[in-house]
Amino acid sequence: MNKYYEGSIYINFYLDGVAGIVGSSLSLLTYGFLRMRWAYGISLSITLIFTVLILIYQQGYASPHWVGGLVPDDSKSPYDEDSEEDR
């Protein structure tokens, strides 16, 4: 399904690979500290929450531009948000 997401297909596949590596590492730690039932419940909850967030973003109900407010003023790009100059 990665080829249907917005953005570059290459970046989407790289992010999918990174998410797989991080997920595998975290699952080993989670199963080590928690029992199987608790680890399964927590991982299922996290999956459902982020699936809903991805769907909200993909449908355009939410915008990722709010993250720009968290960046300090001296780190922001000098270009306008929708300009073609920085591409």
Q: Give the residue extent of every domain in the chain.
A: 8-61
**What is the DSSP track for the chain?**
-GGGSSS-HHHHHHHHHHHHHHHHHHHHHHHHHS-HHHHHHHHHHHHHHHHHHHHHHHTTSS-GGGGGGGS-GGGS-SS-TT-STT-
Whether the pTM exceeds 0.85: the reply is no
CA angle, corner 29, sides to 25 and 30, nearest 5?
110
How far apart are the C-alpha atoms of 75 and 72, rounded to whole Å? 6
Instruction: Pull the structure tokens for residue 55.
Output: 């769907």
Encode the chain (87 residues) as per-residue pLDDT tens digits.
777 777 788 888 888 899 999 988 988 888 888 888 888 888 899 999 999 988 888 888 877 676 666 666 665 566 676 656 545
